[in-house]
Structure formats: C-alpha cells, structure tokens
Amino acid sequence: MPTPKISVETVKHVAKIARLELNSKEIRKFQKDLNDILSAFREIDKINVKKVKPSFQPLEVRDVFREDVPEPSLTQEKALSNTKHKENGYFKGPRVV
Amino acid sequence: MTKYTMSVKEFLEESRKGNINFLDFAAALLEETQKLNKKFQLLREICDIRDRLYLNPPLNGLPISVKDCICVKGVQSYAGSKILEGYIPTFDATCVDRLKDNGVTILGKTNQDEFGFGTFSTNSGFEVPKNPLDPLRSCGGSSGGAAGLVAALDYPHVALAQSTGGSISAPAAFCGVVGITPTYGLVSRYGLIDYANSLDKIGVIGKSVHDVALILSIISGKDEKDQTSIGEKKDYSKDLSSTKDLKGVKIAVPKEYFQNLEEEVEKEVWNAIKKMESNGATYEKVSLKNTKYGVAAYYIIATAEASTNLAKYCGMRYGMHGKLEGNFNEYFSTVRTSGLTEEAKRRIILGTFTRMAGYRDAYYLKAMKIRTLIIEEHKNIFKKFDVIASPSMPIQPPKFKEIKKLTPVENYQMDFLTIPANLAGMPHLSVPVAKKTPIGLHLTADHLSEDKLFKIGSVFEKVR
C-alpha cells in the first residue's frame, strides 16, 4: 500500500476524533511529522506477512475465570474523592444535549 | 559518603541486628533527598518518610522510590502529565502493596516522560530530571528520575520503574546503574497508569544486580486483579553469590545490534563480551533480520494502544478539571488540549490515524504480525543460546541542547536496540560496562528466564 499523504484536513479530522483542539501552527507541524513518521514506517511494506498470525500479546493469554463472589468495592465517597465536579453523590458532567 | 553509605545487603543486615536508628535514618535520608532534588529534579513528590515507615521484616524499612506512573495510596500521582494534576490514588498498585507488606519505606514519586512517551525524560509536563553523572545531559527515559535517583542517592535504595519499549534499560544505561525489565505479565500491572497494555511492564532499577533481583522476587507473582498476570514466583536473589563464573553460558551477538553505534559504545560493549568470554562464556555472531522492522512495528502498536488508553482523560472524575462550560465534546477537548504536551498529542494523533478504517490492516494488524515474527526469531535463537548480548543504547547520554534538535523520527530510532525484546515481552537486563559509566551491556533472555539474566549479570558485575 502506498504511503498515504497526510493532508491538513486529515490532521484536523483525526484531532477532532481524538478530542484535541490544534491551532494552525500545530496542524502544520503535525502534518509534517506524520508524513515523516509514516514514510519512515514504509520499511514494513517490504515484508510479506500474509501467512503470519498477529500477536496481540507477547505471550499467549488465555481467559482467566474466578468464582463470582461479591467483595467490598470502592466506596461512593472514595470514588468521588478526586473530582471537583460532584452533586448529591454523583459525578457532575458537562452538558450532553 | 554519608553516614548511611552502605549497600542494600549491608542495610538489611544492620537493620536486622537493630543497629539502625530509624528516626535518625529517615530524617537524614529526607534531607539528602531534598538536597539532591534541588540539584537534579529527580522526584515529582517527596513523601514525609518519617510518617511512612514500614519497619517489618524482611526489608526492615528499605527505602523505595516509585515511578510517577505507579499508584501509591494517598500520594499525588501524575505519570508526568498535567492532565493528572491533583489526582490522589485511593489504592496502592499491587507491586507497592507487596513491598509495603514486606517492610519498605516509600520515598516518593520519580519524574518521567509524560505517560512514558519518550527516551530522554524531556517530554514531561513537569521537571526534566538531570543526569547525576553530568547535569547537562539527559538521564534517559522514560524512567529517568528513577535511574537518576539510584545513581545520585548514596543511601541503600531501590527504584520501581516501568518499561513499554525501553524505558528501564535506556535510563539505567545512561545513569550507570542496573535495570531489569521482566517478562510481560511477571509483575502485575494493577495500579499502573498505562501507556500501552500489550507492552507495559513494571520492573526495577538499582545499584546492583542483587538489588533488582531482590525486589523483583517480591513484586512478581499471580495477581487476580491483572488478567495478564502469569503467576510465576521465584527467589531470584537467593543463589546469586554462588555463581562464580560463566562456564557453559552461550551468548548470541546479533550483527544488526552493532550497526549505527557511537564508536565508544561499540568498543566498550565488545570489551564486555570479551570479558564474559574470558570467564568461561562462549559467543557467536548471529543475525536477527527482523530487527529493522522493530521501530515501526513498535511505534504503531504503542501509539495505537496509547491513543485509546488516553481517551479516559476528560477532566471529569480525577486529575485536571475545567469550568463546566459548553457541551461534553467541547469540554473534553478543552481539558485535553490544555493538559497534554506536544509529544502526547503527536502520539494520540498517530495512533488514532493508524487505527482508522482503511488503514488498520496496513498498519496496526501488520505490526501485530511483525511482532509474531520477532517473537519467533528470538525463540529460535534461545533454542541454542542462553542470552543475547548488545549495547543498551546506541549512544551515550546526549546533552539537552542536542536532544532539542532531534526530529520525531530520529528520536524514535534511538530505541532500536531495546524495542525487539519489549515487543517480544522477553526479559532484559542492563548492566553498566564499568562502575558509574553511562554505557550499558544489554542482556536479553527467553520468556521467564530472569534467573539466567541475574546469574550472568552478577558474575559480569564482578569481572567487568
């Protein structure tokens, strides 16, 4: 696959998905960086891996099961101890609609 | 020299005999740590250890520093990021919990690259640690504060660190100290502020092979809270001193690991290999031909995983908060934009891009397949050899002004020696080629062969 040329629009689109606001200087900087990085990564085009299985973990990981026994969990007070935005024992978030 | 200049072994012996006045020890240690921190900026938080002494055996109050990304109950944990400013964990990471049970004193949280995103500890939302061997130079990264503190603090002390692609070996080498990155899954990741889940490993940095082996023995083992936890547990430090030479040890020296090196590094590491040979080991040159794909595969996997992990930082439940203005997308974007550094944003954008529809198979999936080839290539080597030997880093610690000139691609390339073992999840040990020398001999072994690394490393320490 040819290296995609990253445009200003692509950087803006990706930043929006990632919930980052970039100014025009940052957009130009990241556009250049991304193009440089992806073109350096073209190294991997040289290798054929069609018959290779992917390793999502370095060692084979199997499903781990345990008995479903209720245990004490984080208290409401502790769970809320790190937020500045709370009300009546709930997290208070930004407007959704 | 300080009043308490002694090895960890001596400290354990003296404290067992009751020869240490802990109130005096703690006060002197606190004063010394604060003094060093002014000079080298190694710690983000220093605990008032006089209130935090756990004096029970077997470690009898041995001082331990903790990399900022590992949670300690009640101590601010930032993982080097402003976006976590104000976050005080309500629980201990499993490794910290186990150390407390074994009687350690938690000294504080050490500086690092933001979430581990760097090779020089310069990508931080806070202070950049300076190398105690030369403060104009980098400690390496991302566990830079951990390695720097081990090098600078003339007290019995061991540091908890963490590696994703080389963040233990790089700073250990640059600061002239010892670092072990264990097999993936040997140490529970519960309580680790994550970078990339399939790569993150908690490990140890210390002044000697004995020290890191001792602490790894305590923090390893099964943990139900981490489903990738393996469940292997050994006493790695027990028989270390009984190994006297390297008879029968077979070393593989990959030619790809001796390309593009600084001259001095190449010379010193070859000297180290020859010293092992004259103590009974044999070595053979081999080829790891997939090495050249390592950097690309690693950065694709690591940034893809990081970009999803960092999605949780949105200014609501912990860490940095903003004014509750605008809709949720605007609010999350405002907080994330002001809380993250340039390198974090670069990695999030790169990782988000390579996971996008249309690119996923070409980048992310392909990188996962290359990881398979790198694992198989290593497994093949270990059918015939005990360890792979190489330099830990291609260069000696650079000056900060030199680091500023590096492009992202040049920067990522610095990790080419540490990446293969990290991608393969195989344990690796960095031991300085000589005392207080910023060049590391890098030894890699097969999965769960930490004991081999420690035995070879501890003999090398004596004969180097």
Q: Which of B146, B167, B173 shows the shortest CA–CA distance to B394?
A: B173
Domain ranges of chain B: 1-464
Alpha helices per DSSP H over A1-97: 8-17, 24-40, 76-79
Confidence class for position B203, pLDDT limits 50, 70, 90: very high
Among residues B344, B326, B342, which one has the least CA distance to residue B334?
B326
CA distance B204 to B225: 21
pLDDT of residue B1: 80
B142 part of the active site: yes
Per residue in B337-358, pLDDT (tens digit) is: 999 999 999 999 999 999 998 8
Alpha-carbon span B160 to B183, nearest angstrom: 15
SS3 B75: coil
**In one letter, which amino acid is B324?**
L
> Token pair for residue B2?
């300080």
Q: 10 Å Cβ neighbour count for B68?
A: 35
Domain residues of chain A, as ranges?
1-43
- For B372, the closest of A22, A26, A53 (CB atoms) is A53
What was the ipTM of the complex prediction?
0.95
Domain B1-464 has CATH 3.90.1300.10: yes
pLDDT digits (tens, 9 = 90+) for B239-261: 898 889 999 999 999 999 999 99
Residue A4 has pLDDT above 90, yes or no: no
Active site residue B17: no
Closest residue of chain A to B333, computed from CA coordinates: A19
Distance from the Cα of B206 to chain A's closest Cα (Å) equals 26
Tens of pLDDT along B10-40?
A: 999 999 999 999 989 999 999 999 999 999 9
Report pLDDT for B55: 78
Q: Which residues of A touch B349 (CB under 8 A)?
A: 11, 14-15, 18, 20, 30, 34
Q: Model confidence over A20-74: pLDDT tens digits?
A: 999 999 999 999 999 999 999 998 999 999 999 999 999 987 788 888 999 888 9
C-alpha–C-alpha distance, residues B362 and A2, integer Å: 10
CATH architecture observed for domain A1-43: Orthogonal Bundle (1.10)
Q: Which residues contact B202 (CB under 8 A, 6 or more apart)?
A: B70, B93, B95, B160, B161, B162, B182, B187, B188, B189, B192, B219
Tokens read off for B425: 């999840």
Ramachandran assignment for B454, one of left (phi > 0), alpha (psi -120 to 50 degrees), beta (any other): alpha
Tell me: pLDDT of B155 over 80. Answer: yes
> Both tokens of residue B453?
């690394």
